[in-house]
Structure formats: C-alpha cells, structure tokens
Structure 1
Amino acid sequence: MKITAADTIVTSPGRNFVTLRITTEDGITGLGDGTLNGRELAVASYLSDHVAPLLIGRDAARIEDTWQYLYRGAYWRRGPVTMAAVAAVDTALWDIKAKAAGMPLYQLLGGASRTGALAYGHASGRDVPEILDSVRAHLAQGYRAIRIQSGIPGLDSVYGVAASGAGGGDRYDYEPARRSGDGPPRPVEEVWDTRAYLRHVPRVFEAVRAEFGPELPLLHDGHHRMTPIQAARLGKDLEPYDLFWLEDATPAEDPTALRLVRQHTTTPLAIGEVFNSPHDYGVLLSERLIDYVRSAVTHVGGVTAMRKLLDLAALYGIKSGIHGPTDISPVGMAAALHLDLAVHNFGIQEYMRHSAGTLEVFRTSYRFGEGLLHPSDQPGLGVELDETAAARFPYAPAYLPVNRLTDGTVHDW
C-alpha cells in the first residue's frame, strides 16, 4: 500500500486549519491535523517542503517506522512545528489503516473500553450572574461537566470568557485567536492582575457550588499565569469546592515547580497542552505531580505518541484529559475520541463545538449526547474533507493575544 500523494491543505472557515491528506496507490485517503494556532504556515511549509517528498513511495502500513523515520531521522527533534507535522502524518496513516481494515480506528487500538467519553463544556461570564446563566445553558445542551472561567473586576478582557458573556446564542464557544484590522497583523495585547484573580476566583466557585450543588464536576484553567506558590494558594483556596481539576496553574517549562504546588493542595492538577512530546512528562508522571495529561493528539506527535504517553501515564494512575479547543480541527478531535474510547485510563475530554463553517469543510460523524462523545463506527477516523468548501475559505492571519501585567511587563498568556 504505497503512498502516491501527500497534500497540505490550509483553510480558514472562521479560523485557520492545516490538514494533511495522504493518498495510497489503492485510492485510500487519510487525513491528519497539523494545526498550530498562530503559526499555521510554519507547519504547512514543513509538511509541503520537507515531509511530503519523503513520504512518496513509502508503505502506508508501516506507521511506527514512519513515525521514527520523521522523528529520529530529521536529527532536529521535537518542537511544536516538527511535532505537529509528525502528528499530521501519523494520524493520516492511522486513518488509512483503519479504512483499509473496514473498522473505526478505536477497534485497531484495542476496542472500546466504555460506551462514550465524558465531555466538559466551557461556561464563562463577565460576572457571577452571567456565569450562572452560562452554566444553565451548557446543562441544557447536555453537558455533565463544565469548566468555569470568569471575568476579573478591573480587567477589560480575560482568557476563557466568551465575547457574548454567557456563551449562548450563536456563539459556539470561546475562541481567543483574533484577526487584525488595518496594517500588519499583530496580536492583541491584554492586561492581567494575578492578585485580583486570586481574590476573585474562589468567590466565583462558591457561588457556582451554591447554585448547582456538589455533584456537578467543575474545572478551571489558570492558563500558566501563576507562580508555583500562587498556584498552591489557589489550589488550597479551591479545595472546599471540590474541583475535578485545576489546569495549567503554573508554567510547565520546569516540571519540578509542580512539587511545591502538590505539597500544598489536594486539588487535582492537569497540565500539558503546550507540551509537544511525551518526553516533557517524565518527572510529572514518575513523581505523580499531576493527575491528568492535557496534550492534544495534534501537538504531541499523533495517535502513536499519544497512545504511548497514555499507556505510560496509566502505570502511575494518571488519566487522560486530551486538549480539544476549536484550534484542533475536527480531524484532530476525532483522533482524540478514538483514543478516549479505547484507553483504560480515560479521564475526561474537552469539547468545544466547531463553527458551522468548519463543519461544512470537515464532514464529521462523531456524536454528542447525554454528556458523552462517541467517535462513530465509520471506518477510519470518521471525518472527510470537502476540498471545494475548503477552497472558499483562504488563509487569514490570526494570533493569540499577548499578556502584560498592569505595569506593562510581558506575562504568560
């Protein structure tokens, strides 16, 4: 089953996506997601100029060998651009293998371990009344676990808070990537105050628990904005509200920083969405410094790498919480769902609904109901690309914001 073509497709139905389509001599096609928010063209070039020529003539069935060939053979390993490109190839090859077998991908990964994957939605608001309205809206949509993000008094805009306030209406979910107006494209700059945030967030969770009771799983994302001691304080302050997890409480470049956080709080910790290799997790897993692995299939090297990472995490009793924002295309989302269904140590799946335009380009078969996601029983990933629709949405630069403290110092966004 030789590879005859490897085409990179960039489309922007509301936001930018990079998709690799691999075709075999038998006419079977496979799709892989290589989207890297704000750096999409770097991955597209890596794929088109450096990876695609290496794939022609290779046996599409040799997935592990191809992964090692692209990872070890390039000499310059890891990094977000490289690993997103490797992920795109790897996921497309798994799509092909499962289609050739006439099976959904999860069957090739060992079969289903559950009937569906618990998904969490994203409730947000500028103040507590808006947040409560947003939680009600998400419960009405069928979610059984909800992330809570809040505006902070004195700050104009805050990560995780949808532009529509309560997150209802036509707004499909929070999308931070923004397109510039006149002039050269540049990221929007936002202002941040950690002390104000630390004072406010526990009051928000107190109000949410008072309204919705103790059973609803609640999550929160700190988005790398705290020092380890600040993260420890927040984790401790949130203990009375029994969070499912506190995500990305502190920057993860130094994994040993999580030792301090772990010493001071029993709030479960999740981290890893900015990681790009299973190697980033060594200390975190072996010392049990986290409870959930947050990487995306798209950014950590594909289905092959994610399966190995989750199998390693399982040895330490650590569960999955695969990253699933709207800058992961439906192809990457479907790959996550097949892993969610198959692995034993599944925890929860992030689920942000894609826009109508995105779903016009990417024809999906995965489904959501009663709080659970299922990848479907279609052969392969269960996602097809409408290339005619994709061509109607050309690439347009969009960037994640830059964050500054109130005194102007650049801070983690």
Structure 2
Amino acid sequence: MKIVAADVVVTSPTRNFVTLKVTTDEGVTGLGDATLNGRELSVAAYLKEHVVPLLLGRDPANIEDTWQFLYRSGYWRRGPVTMAAIAAVDMALWDIKGKVAGMPVYQLLGGASRRGLSTYGHASGRDLPELFDSIRHEKEHGFSAIRVQTSVPGIKALYGVAAQAQASGERYDYEPAQRTALPVEEDWDTRAYLRHLPGVFEAVRNEFGPDLALLHDGHHRMTPLQAARLGKDLEPYDLFWLEDCTPAENQEALRLVRQHTTTPLAIGEVFNSIYDIKDLISEQLIDYVRCASTHFGGISPLKKVMDFAAVYQVKSGFHGPTDVSPVGLAAQMHVGMAIHNFGLQEYMEHSERTNAVFEQSLTFVDGLLHPGDNPGLGVELNEEEAAKYEYQPAYLPYNRLADGTVHDW
C-alpha cells in the first residue's frame, strides 16, 4: 500500500480547523488534525509546501519511521507549527492502520483499560449566582468534575468566562479567538485575582459540598511565587488540579510552587515535545500532563510520554478545547482509553455545524466519553459540508496591565 494523495482542508464552521486527509492507492483514507488557533494558515502552508510532497509514495503502515523522518529531516525541530503538521500525519496514519485492521485505534495501542473516559465540564459566571447556575447545568449534563472560572471585580474581560448566562441552557462553547484584523486587548490585575479567587471557591464548596471535583485554570498569568500563594490559598477547597499556574517554559519555576503547596498541578497544553515536560515529570513537579495530541506531534509521542509519566505516577489530563478539532479529540481519546495512568479528559462539545463537518462515533453517557468502536479514529470528514465555510482570520486576545505593560493572557 502506498500514499497517493494528501490534501489539506481548511474549514471554519464556527471556528477555523485545519485537517489533513491522506489517501492510499487502495482507497483507504485517514484524517489528522493540524489546527493551531490563531495561526491556522501557517500550519496549512507548512503541510502543503513541505510535508505533503514527502508523503507521496510512502508506505502508510510505517508510522514510527514516517514520524522520525518528518521530525529529523527538517533539521529545525519542534515548535507548534512543525509539531502540529507532524501530528496531523501521525493521526492520519493511525486512522488508516485502524481501518485496514478493522479495529478502533485504542485496540492497536493495547486495548481498553477502562469503560470510558472521565471528563470535566466548564462552568463560569460573572457573579456567584450565575456561577452556581452554570455549575448546576454542568452537573445535570453528566459531569462529576467541573472547571470553575469567574469574573474578578476590577478586571473588564477575563479568560474562561463565557459571555452568556449559563442558566439560559446554552452549553459552554466559549471561543476567545475573535474574528478581527488585530488581536483584541484585554486587561489584567494579578493582585485583584489573587484576592478574589479563594472566596469564590469557598462559596462553591459551601454550596455544592465536598464531593464535586473542582478545577481551575490560571492560564500562565502568575509568577512562581504568586502561583505558590494561590495553590496554598486554595488547599482548603480540595481542588482536583490547578492548571497552568505559571508559564512553564521555565521548568525550574515549578520547584518553587511545589515546595509551597499540595494542590495538584496540571501543565502542558502549550508544550510541543517530551523535552518541554520530561523534567517536570521525572522530578514529580506536576501531577497531570495536559499535552494535546494535535500540538504534541500526534498519537505516537503522546502515548510515549504517558508511558514515561507512568513510572512517576503522573497521570493524563489531555487538553480538549474546541480549538482542537473532533479529529484531534478522537486521537487523544484513543490514547486515554489504552493507557493505565489516565486521569481526566477535558471535554468541550463542538457546535452543531462543526459536528456536521466532522461526523463522529464518540458517545458521552453518564459522564463517560468513549471514542466508539468504528475502525480507525471514528471520525469522517464531510467535504461537501466543509466547503461551505471559508477560513476567517481570527486572533486570541492579549493582556495589558494598568500601566500598559503587555502581560501573559
């Protein structure tokens, strides 16, 4: 069997997605996700101009060899654009292998280690009543673990807080990337955030009791010392994890955080390779790996990093926002089904239009997510539907402090 075509499809049903479709001489096709929010066309160009020509004529069965070839032959390694492109190829080849074998990909990775994937939902509110309504809505939808994000007095706009009231029955499909010519500026005040947040979690615990698993995303905005303080202040409220408490490019920063708090830490959604996270795992500075298959090079390296993490009792907490396409979500679901050290899967439901473009076999029942048992990844691309939605420029916001200094968003 040989690869005879590799097509890059860019579509924007409710947000931009980049999909690679690999076709073999026997008519078997495989899909891969190459979406990089706010920089989608850079990955599409990388695929079209530098990757697709290298795939034609190759044997799709040789997944590891193809991955190593794409990673090492470019010389300039890593980075989100390169790794998203490689991830798309890797996913597509696993998809093909599963279809040829007549099995879902998780069976090829060692079989099911669980009935389904425990997931967490997303609650947010501009005040406590709205936040409580949002949490109740997520619980009613089947989530037993919920990420809590809240507005902060004195900050006009804040990551993770949906614009609509969650009590209205709308599912949380927060899309921070706005379709504007330039990124939108937002404001930030760390001191106000640190003062306000512990009281919010105290109120949530008082309202919902000790059994509900609560999470929070700091979104890289704190210094190590600030992150350590927040982790310590949140200890009485028993968080399942505190996510991205400080920019983790400086892996040593997590040593300081770890010294001062027992709040579990989850890191990795912006990481692109094992080299970004290996020390955090081996020194046990984190508890959950947040890496996403789409931005980490695909299924192959994600499975490897979790096998490495298992040695240190570090679990998975894979990134699963709606800017990872249904193909990318399916890829990491299959990894999550197979590994022993699964922790929790982020799950944000895609829009109806997105689900019409990407036809899926996944199920979400009683709080458990399952990729389905269709051969391959369990996702098919409706190209006629995809063609209805042209790419639209969109950028994530950025933060400035009160004095005008650009800050982490």
Specify the TM-score bucket, using the shorter chain as the normaliser. Answer: over 0.9
Q: Deviations over 1:103-131 (max 9, x none)?
A: 00100000000001000000000111111
Which of the residues 364, 379, 383 maps onto 1:383? 379
Alignment root-mean-square deviation, CA: 0.8
Q: Is the 8 A contact 1:125 1:167 kept in 2?
A: no
Once structures 1 and 2 are overlaid, which stretch shifts more, 56-65 or 365-374?
365-374
Q: Is the 8 A contact 1:3 1:60 kept in 2?
A: yes
Q: Could you say what secondary structure the match of 2:308 adopts? A: helix
TM-score (norm. length: structure 1): 0.98
Q: Which residue of 2 aligns with 1:35?
A: 35
Q: Could you say what secondary structure the match of 1:156 adopts? A: coil
Q: Is 1:318 matched up with 2:297?
A: no
Q: Deviations over 1:44-90 (max 9, x none)?
A: 00000110000000000000000000001111100000000000000
| Structure 1 residues without counterparts, runs of 5 or longer | none
Alpha-carbon distance, 1:169 to partner = 3.0
Q: Is 1:17 matched up with 2:17?
A: yes
Question: In the alignment, residue 275 of structure 2 is paired with which amino acid?
Answer: H
Q: Which residue of 2 aligns with 1:51?
A: 51
Aligned residues: 409
Q: Is the 8 A contact 1:164 1:171 kept in 2?
A: no
The whole-number CA distance in structure 1 between the counterparts of 2:70 and 2:207 is 51
Q: Could you say what secondary structure the match of 1:358 adopts? A: helix
Q: Which residue of 1 aligns with 2:254?
A: 258
Q: Which residue of 1 aligns with 2:166?
A: 166
Alpha-carbon distance, 1:206 to partner = 0.5
Spell out the pairing of 1:186-201 with structure 2 (5 A cutoff).
186-201=182-197
1:273/1:64 CA distance change after superposition, 3 Å: same
Q: Is 1:278 matched up with 2:274?
A: yes
Q: Which residue of 2 aligns with 1:107?
A: 107
Q: Is the 8 A contact 1:144 1:370 kept in 2?
A: no
Q: Deviations over 1:247-275 (max 9, x none)?
A: 00000110000000000000000001011
Alpha-carbon distance, 1:391 to partner = 0.4
The whole-number CA distance in structure 2 between the counterparts of 1:169 and 1:396 is 28
Q: Could you say what secondary structure the match of 1:295 adopts? A: coil
Which of the residues 338, 341, 347 maps onto 1:345? 341
Q: Deviations over 1:313-345 (max 9, x none)?
A: 111110000000000000000111111111000
The whole-number CA distance in structure 2 between the counterparts of 1:16 and 1:154 is 32
Alpha-carbon distance, 1:147 to partner = 0.2
Q: Could you say what secondary structure the match of 2:51 adopts? A: helix
Q: Could you say what secondary structure the match of 1:179 adopts? A: coil
TM-score (norm. length: structure 2): 0.99
Alpha-carbon distance, 1:177 to partner = 0.9
Q: Which residue of 1 aligns with 2:131?
A: 131
Q: Which residue of 2 aligns with 1:236?
A: 232
The whole-number CA distance in structure 1 between the counterparts of 2:165 and 2:259 is 36
Question: In the alignment, residue 8 of structure 1 is paired with which amino acid?
Answer: V
Alpha-carbon distance, 1:282 to partner = 1.9
Q: Is 1:365 matched up with 2:361?
A: yes
Runs ≥4 in structure 1, deviation > 4 angstroms?
none
Alpha-carbon distance, 1:174 to partner = 1.6
Q: Is the 8 A contact 1:172 1:354 kept in 2?
A: no
Q: Which residue of 1 aligns with 2:331?
A: 335
Question: In the alignment, residue 40 of structure 1 is paired with which amino acid?
Answer: E
Q: Could you say what secondary structure the match of 1:99 adopts? A: helix
Q: Is 1:98 matched up with 2:94?
A: no
Which of the residues 388, 392, 395 maps onto 1:396? 392
Alpha-carbon distance, 1:167 to partner = 6.7
Q: Which residue of 2 aligns with 1:287?
A: 283
1:268/1:168 CA distance change after superposition, 3 Å: farther
Q: Which residue of 1 aligns with 2:87?
A: 87
Alpha-carbon distance, 1:165 to partner = 3.3
Q: Which residue of 2 aligns with 1:154?
A: 154
Q: Is the 8 A contact 2:364 2:370 kept in 1?
A: yes
